[in-house]
């Protein structure tokens, strides 16, 4: 600052300098916010893609599990129809073992 400068002019110069600095800060902050928003959009898109992929995998696994369960049920029913006496004795033995285990 010039020592011969009027205090009013010095104050005006300081205000102009502060306004310019505030404008620069505002521009930089806006750029950062915009960049952060773009990055958030990218991450959101990637997360949605991954969730869709995992949803497909889960649906496929669930479908496979249901078909296996139905297959096992059909095989079990066929076994019981072919060997009814043996199936009853096996069920009785399993029931007795479970009863003894849960009794203790």
Q: What is the pLDDT of residues 13-71, one digit of tens each?
A: 888 888 888 888 888 888 899 999 999 999 999 999 999 999 999 999 999 999 999 99
- pLDDT band for position 5 (50/70/90)? low
pTM exceeds cut of 0.85? no
- pLDDT band for position 77 (50/70/90)? very high
User: 11 is written with which tokens?
Assistant: 């104050």
88: left (phi over 0), alpha (psi -120 to 50) or beta: alpha
Locate the DSSP E strands across 33-103: none
Domain map (residue ranges) of the chain: 7-103
Q: What is the pLDDT of residue 23?
A: 87
Residues in the chain: 104
């Amino acid at each position: 600052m010039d020592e011969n400068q009027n205090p009013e002019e010095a104050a005006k110069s300081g205000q102009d300098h502060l306004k310019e600095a505030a404008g620069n800060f505002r521009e930089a902050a806006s750029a950062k916010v915009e960049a952060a928003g773009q990055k958030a959009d990218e991450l959101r898109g990637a997360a949605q893609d991954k969730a869709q992929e995992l949803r497909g995998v889960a649906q496929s696994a669930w479908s496979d599990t249901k078909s296996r369960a139905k297959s096992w049920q059909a095989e079990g029913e066929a076994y019981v129809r072919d060997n009814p006496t043996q199936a009853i004795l096996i069920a009785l033995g399993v029931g007795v073992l479970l009863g003894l285990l849960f009794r203790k």
